Chains A and B, each alone.
Chain A
Amino acid sequence: MLAMRSTAALAALFATTATLLSSFVSAEPPSALLASASRNPSGIAHLDSAAFNSIVNEAAATRDYSMSILLTALNAPGIDCVPCKAFQPHYEGVAAAWKKNGKGWKEGKAGHYFAEVNFVDGREVFQQLQIQHAPMLLFLPPHGPANKGISYDFNAHGFDAPGVSSHISQLIGKPIGYKKPFPWRTAIIFSLTAMVATSAVLYVVAKVQAQLEASSGGWVLQLVCLATITIMCAGYMWNNIRGAPYMSMGSNGKVEYFAGGFQNQLGVETQIVASIYGILAFSLIALTVLVPTQRDPVKQRAGVYVWSVIFLGGVSVLFAVFRIKNPSYPLRLFL
């Protein structure tokens, strides 16, 4: 039943593409894949289940070219596939490079073609290949059936176009010829920022040097140094390297600010801890530098006690926060 329907669909598809293509190309027998690919500016053939069946599954014996097929889930209702969206421009970039550089691409003789199956159009393909997660990039050698594809290892080679390009180049034995497009936008933004920053720095340096000669230290420089130290000691680079989420949702729908475990943290944790450090350091500075310059004994005494309370309170909060991370930690102060 299913087979019949699919063959019918296939026949219909062939008919339509044949009529479509005959107007463009006349000499070669038109291939459905090439037709679909030519319509796309980046040269990716968008396949639905039927097209996938006809081109990949049934025409495997006659297919003398290899294929890259991206199985992705874009705009699918109920599925928010962030990596799919992120990967799409990279894949398009690689395919476009091949469209430009692959010899005989337009005539169907390039030996390798790029295709894509979106979950919305090709739910059956996902079922057939038993794919549970997207995106997935399959490489099919010539005449190879779909389940014998080589899947691209995103963990090992990364989501970036150069990684994909070198992987496919290796498999087809020809260079894809992908070059990173010149990042005009970034370049313009960068040069503008650099100009502004340079003039700002020049201005600040002039100011700072005047201050330095008075041997008090430039406040901007001080601020930058102290902020760097505090943030770094609050584990900022961990978030950066591990890509920690900013916050997380607990089991009962509550927002959690602290990740469980000693070697784990959330983005917001760094900010909380860094601000505790900042408050503690500042209250110490206040006690040592600011308070003694107060010349009124009563006000000064009040200042000492207020800053002491802030300081000790901060320390006890810090201890309490640390005990969340390490429940077996025995020391505490008030809290």
Chain B
Amino acid sequence: MTSSYAYRLPTFSPETTRNVASLLRVIIIVLIAAAAISSRLFAVIRHESVIHEFDPWFNFRATKVLTEDGFYRFWNWFDEKAWYPLGRAAGGTLYPGLMVTSGAIFHFLKAINIPVDIRNVCVLLAPAFSGLTAWATYMFTKSMKDDAAGLLAAAFIGIAPGYISRSVAGSYDNEAIAIFLLMMVFYLWIKALKDGSVMSGVACALFYFYMVAAWGGYVFITNLIPLHAFVLILMGRFSTRLYVAFSSYYVVGTLASMQVPFVGHNPVTTSEHMSALGVFGLLQLCAFAEFVRSLVPSQQFKVLLRSAVAGIFMIAFSGFVVMSINGKIAPWTGRFYSLWDTGYAKKHLPLIASVSEHQPPAWPAFFFDLEMLVFLFPAGVYLLFQQLRDEHVFVIIYAVTCSYFASVMVRLMLTLTPIVCVSAAVAISTLLDTYLDPKEPETREEVTKSLTDDATSAPATPSKKGGKKAGGKTASASESAASTARSHVAGIYGLDTRIVVSLYTLILLLVFVLHCTFVTSTAYSSPSVVLASRNPDGSQHIIDDFREAYYWLRQNTPVDAKVMSWWDYGYQIAGMADRPTLVDNNTWNNTHIATVGRMMSTSEEKSEPYLRKHDVDYVLVIFGGLLGFSGDDINKFLWMIRISGGIWPDEIHEVDYFTPRGEYRIDDAASQTMKDSLMYKMSYYRFNELFGGRPGMDRVRGSQTATQSPKLDILDEAFTSENWIVRIYQVKKQDPLGRPLPLANAFDQGKSIGRAVAGADTPGLRPVGAAGGKQGRKGRKATS
């Protein structure tokens, strides 16, 4: 019966079909991996093979320690160049997974005689792992629906900007390998749950261990898998498969995770890990109850047993509450707590609230990172609801919790992206399944007709299976009609609808590719240590101020010169300039950071004693006013004030830095406290000279600067980069005659006609000052 097919499929033997399909699968996966890797190489092609941003510089430095000094030195590494004068026990306070991975790759390549620079391994690690992530997502989605959905999901995750944002070449951060591990753990957890296999459970636990060693975000897994198990129990879906999978995962995974020094005993002492322990206990109770129930026939006893299980669970839970009140179990750390109580961080943890990646994203951020996936996401979740197998429950829980987390913190968009890709792939592949399937359903009249036919030729039905397999071509008309009527009640009629829907789905997929390419190339491929802009003629102009300044520090200052800067630049200074810093991106010591904030935000006289006590030789500030670089220190200044004001509320008041009308200004109307602050002075020192002594134009704040240029007494301008983005000041040595520096300066200026005498006063400082002047001229020339 030809009318039941919208178009003809070529007929192959089932074996050929299977072979071709598996060959195609392999080719597609390889192509997806290639696309994933190559779309992350924009930064390398445009700029060069360079480590990006801030945190990666520390990871890179740690990797160098690992490869140059060996594993034991790395494991016990004490970094005396950071957090001067405290130092940092880096070996015990980092997640070693990333460094060990790239170290292993480096040594492997060396062993097979491929000479490669460790920097290139680090730069290309994230793209390489994104290929693996695509594969892991394929496996995960395959277990949710089928191969087709798996391939779509792999393609989505390969190019979705939400994931690319953290894994472009050079973004050598923990997340680079963590998303692969996340998907691997989830895939193996689903596999273990489906099969009830100890082996998959243990494999899941081992990948979990790798994840714990690689990223602090492992806590998400630690809570999500128990939540899944818990919901399954609540739904009455407790099974021996669940018991075996969770027990093997939890026991091995927890013991293994405690081997990471930074994690240590956290899995048994902190609240974040308690849910896993609780669910583990509950599973034991459930298993015991099931066991007893199977032996005891009495209905009353079963009720008693169930209430006993509930009772013991409640007692254990209240025990947990009591212990956390007594402080035996550490409460939720602020970082995690602020996910629930969103106002908490702003009030109590300004340091955490200040980090830009901890801000909530507005809706354009979701659309920018996910494009059409964002509306396919609920559709896919709905389709999974329709089947609701055990593994679908997992996806749903993941989707709901993570969409909340991503909505609170833009950083967690990264963990949301995989599940969005999986759900969207389910939605798209179901759509395509429906519209590409050549079988047409019977119309109502035909069904009734075929049913009457069927009734007459009833003895023929048992043989219909063979006919169906061969594509229905050889089967007799009545058999085919009967099988369609039973197995194919829903379907699409006609060819035109199929073509239209498939065509625009294809177009939407292509638009998605265009969107991803556009976003990746414009937004996520900037190394942020090297900036790019366009000349009037459209050619690219590279702004390399950061490296210029860091190399100046490296070549012109003593090896032990202490450099003070805001914590954002600590890792970069340590990595590129190789100089000790006071604070860095590790942010483990809030007070120390607040001290730096205080030195930056108070007047020269007030901060001088602290600068001397901390042996500060150079102060580095980032100033974007000339170029319009908005991520500069004046824009971050409010956070410095807030953080230091949190420690010294009597000395630093945020209000003082605003005008009486409550505005944050930098021109003549700025408050006196603002004008006196070290940060303001360092940023705008000599800025007006660029404009011939008239008030300059700050392109970030979009306002004029003060008419009166700031004067510095205790600092000397040492270096200013080409576009004025980085400005470095040297802390003057104390006056040899013991006068306070402002007095000495005033004295010098009074005698400035006799330069020879004044110059002899501070002989050591002249060359540096001269260098600064030269740089300043150079900057002016380049930008005018």
Q: Assess A297 versus B443: contact at CB under 8 Å? Given A156-B654, A225-B400, A284-B379.
A: yes
* Residue pair B654, A155 in contact (C-beta under 8 Å): yes
Residues of B with C-beta under 8 A to A300:
492-493, 497
Residues of B with C-beta under 8 A to A235:
360-366, 407
- A262–B630 CA distance with the chains assembled, in angstroms: 15
* Residue pair B235, A212 in contact (C-beta under 8 Å): yes
Indicate if A248 sits at the interface (CB-CB under 8 A): no
Greatest chain A CB density within 10 A among B372, B383, B514, B655 is at: B655
Indicate if B317 sits at the interface (CB-CB under 8 A): no
Residues of B with C-beta under 8 A to A277:
374-375, 378
Sample (25) of A-B pairs whose CB atoms are under 8 Å apart:
A155-B654, A156-B649, A215-B387, A222-B385, A225-B396, A233-B363, A233-B406, A235-B361, A242-B360, A262-B364, A263-B364, A265-B363, A277-B374, A277-B375, A281-B376, A288-B431, A292-B441, A292-B491, A293-B489, A293-B490, A296-B443, A300-B492, A322-B367, A331-B514, A331-B518
- A238–B359 CA distance with the chains assembled, in angstroms: 9
- A47–B780 CA distance with the chains assembled, in angstroms: 59
From B498, which residue of chain A is reached at the shortest CB distance?
Answer: A304
Indicate if A97 sits at the interface (CB-CB under 8 A): no
Residues of A with C-beta under 8 A to B646:
156
B375 to A: closest C-beta gap in Å: 4
From A155, which residue of chain B is reached at the shortest CB distance?
Answer: B654
Chain B count of residues within 8 A CB distance of the other chain? 71
Q: Mark A269-282, 1 if CB is under 8 A from B, else 0.
A: 11001001110111
* Residue pair A225, B361 in contact (C-beta under 8 Å): no
Indicate if A148 sits at the interface (CB-CB under 8 A): no
Indicate if B434 sits at the interface (CB-CB under 8 A): yes
* Residue pair A281, B500 in contact (C-beta under 8 Å): no
Residues of B with C-beta under 8 A to A291:
492
Q: Assess A228 versus B493: contact at CB under 8 Å? Given A235-B361, A284-B427, A296-B444.
A: no
Residues of B with C-beta under 8 A to A100:
none
Q: Which of A209, A269, A329, A331 is close to B363, meaning CB atoms less than 8 Å apart?
A: A269
Residues of B with C-beta under 8 A to A333:
511
From B404, which residue of chain A is reached at the shortest CB distance?
Answer: A232
Indicate if B368 sits at the interface (CB-CB under 8 A): yes
Give residues in B with beta carbon < 8 Å to A.
235-236, 342-343, 347, 360-368, 370, 372, 374-379, 381-383, 385-388, 396, 399-400, 403-404, 406-408, 427, 430-431, 434, 441, 443-444, 447, 489-494, 496-497, 500-501, 504, 508, 511, 514-515, 518, 642, 645-646, 649, 653-655, 660-662
- A133–B511 CA distance with the chains assembled, in angstroms: 51
A245 to B: closest C-beta gap in Å: 14
* Residue pair A278, B404 in contact (C-beta under 8 Å): no
B657 to A: closest C-beta gap in Å: 11
Q: Which of B511, B642, B645, B661 is close to A132, meaning CB atoms less than 8 Å apart?
A: B661
* Residue pair B368, A326 in contact (C-beta under 8 Å): yes
Indicate if A192 sits at the interface (CB-CB under 8 A): no
- A278–B375 CA distance with the chains assembled, in angstroms: 7
Q: Assess A297 versus B493: contact at CB under 8 Å? Given A237-B342, A238-B362.
A: yes
From B641, which residue of chain A is reached at the shortest CB distance?
Answer: A156
Within 8 A of B (CB), among A280-302: 280-282, 284-285, 287-289, 291-293, 295-297, 300-301
* Residue pair A228, B403 in contact (C-beta under 8 Å): yes
Indicate if A217 sits at the interface (CB-CB under 8 A): yes
A10 to B: closest C-beta gap in Å: 29
Indicate if A62 sits at the interface (CB-CB under 8 A): no
Q: Assess A301 versus B494: contact at CB under 8 Å? Given A233-B374, A233-B407, A241-B343.
A: yes
Q: Mark A303-335, 1 if CB is under 8 A from B, else 0.
A: 011001000101100100010011001110100
From A130, which residue of chain B is reached at the shortest CB distance?
Answer: B660
Q: Mark A27-44, 1 if CB is under 8 A from B, else 0.
A: 000000000000000000
* Residue pair A225, B381 in contact (C-beta under 8 Å): yes
- A132–B379 CA distance with the chains assembled, in angstroms: 53
Q: Assess A234 versus B493: contact at CB under 8 Å? Given A153-B653, A308-B504.
A: no
- A184–B235 CA distance with the chains assembled, in angstroms: 36
* Residue pair B490, A292 in contact (C-beta under 8 Å): yes
* Residue pair B363, A229 in contact (C-beta under 8 Å): no
A264 to B: closest C-beta gap in Å: 6
Residues of B with C-beta under 8 A to A155:
654-655
Q: Which of B342, B493, B649 is close to A301, meaning CB atoms less than 8 Å apart?
A: B493
Q: Which of B236, B490, B661 is close to A133, meaning CB atoms less than 8 Å apart?
A: B661
* Residue pair A234, B366 in contact (C-beta under 8 Å): yes
Greatest chain A CB density within 10 A among B235, B362, B501, B661 is at: B362
Residues of A with C-beta under 8 A to B343:
241
Q: Mark A243-264, 1 if CB is under 8 A from B, else 0.
A: 0000000000000000000111
Residues of B with C-beta under 8 A to A23:
none
5 closest residue pairs by CB, A with B: A235-B363, A237-B407, A297-B493, A232-B403, A280-B375
A132 to B: closest C-beta gap in Å: 6
- A238–B404 CA distance with the chains assembled, in angstroms: 11
* Residue pair A304, B501 in contact (C-beta under 8 Å): yes
Q: Assess A237 versus B408: contact at CB under 8 Å? Given A222-B382, A318-B367.
A: yes
- A176–B583 CA distance with the chains assembled, in angstroms: 38
Residues of B with C-beta under 8 A to A301:
493-494, 496-497
- A296–B447 CA distance with the chains assembled, in angstroms: 12
B145 to A: closest C-beta gap in Å: 13
A217 to B: closest C-beta gap in Å: 4
- A299–B196 CA distance with the chains assembled, in angstroms: 47
B107 to A: closest C-beta gap in Å: 43
Residues of B with C-beta under 8 A to A285:
379, 382-383
A241 to B: closest C-beta gap in Å: 5
Q: Mark A119-140, 1 if CB is under 8 A from B, else 0.
A: 0000000000010110000000
Q: Which of B379, B501, B511, B642 is close to A281, meaning CB atoms less than 8 Å apart?
A: B379
* Residue pair B382, A281 in contact (C-beta under 8 Å): yes
- A158–B343 CA distance with the chains assembled, in angstroms: 11
* Residue pair A284, B376 in contact (C-beta under 8 Å): yes
Greatest chain B CB density within 10 A among A209, A292, A333 is at: A292
Q: Which of A153, A229, A318 is close to B400, meaning CB atoms less than 8 Å apart?
A: A229
Indicate if A20 sits at the interface (CB-CB under 8 A): no
- A67–B376 CA distance with the chains assembled, in angstroms: 61
- A273–B381 CA distance with the chains assembled, in angstroms: 19
Residues of A with C-beta under 8 A to B372:
315
A125 to B: closest C-beta gap in Å: 16
- A216–B383 CA distance with the chains assembled, in angstroms: 10
- A288–B149 CA distance with the chains assembled, in angstroms: 15
- 10 further contact pairs, Cβ within 8 A, besides A235-B361, A238-B360, A285-B382: A209-B235, A226-B381, A238-B407, A270-B363, A281-B379, A284-B431, A288-B427, A292-B490, A301-B493, A331-B518
Indicate if A240 sits at the interface (CB-CB under 8 A): yes
* Residue pair A308, B376 in contact (C-beta under 8 Å): no
Indicate if A151 sits at the interface (CB-CB under 8 A): yes
Q: Assess A217 versus B385: contact at CB under 8 Å? Given A212-B235, A308-B504.
A: yes
Residues of B with C-beta under 8 A to A288:
379, 383, 427, 430-431, 434
Q: Assess A263 versus B385: contact at CB under 8 Å? Given A284-B376, A288-B431, A308-B500.
A: no
Indicate if A68 sits at the interface (CB-CB under 8 A): no
- A315–B646 CA distance with the chains assembled, in angstroms: 47
Q: Assess A281 versus B494: contact at CB under 8 Å? Given A263-B365, A297-B443.
A: no
A221 to B: closest C-beta gap in Å: 8
* Residue pair B387, A322 in contact (C-beta under 8 Å): no
- A242–B360 CA distance with the chains assembled, in angstroms: 9
- A264–B396 CA distance with the chains assembled, in angstroms: 29
* Residue pair A297, B494 in contact (C-beta under 8 Å): yes
Q: Which of A209, A217, A278, A314 is close to B378, meaning CB atoms less than 8 Å apart?
A: A278
Indicate if A230 sits at the interface (CB-CB under 8 A): yes
- A273–B362 CA distance with the chains assembled, in angstroms: 11
Residues of B with C-beta under 8 A to A222:
382, 385
A101 to B: closest C-beta gap in Å: 24
* Residue pair A237, B385 in contact (C-beta under 8 Å): no
* Residue pair A153, B655 in contact (C-beta under 8 Å): yes
Residues of B with C-beta under 8 A to A326:
364, 368
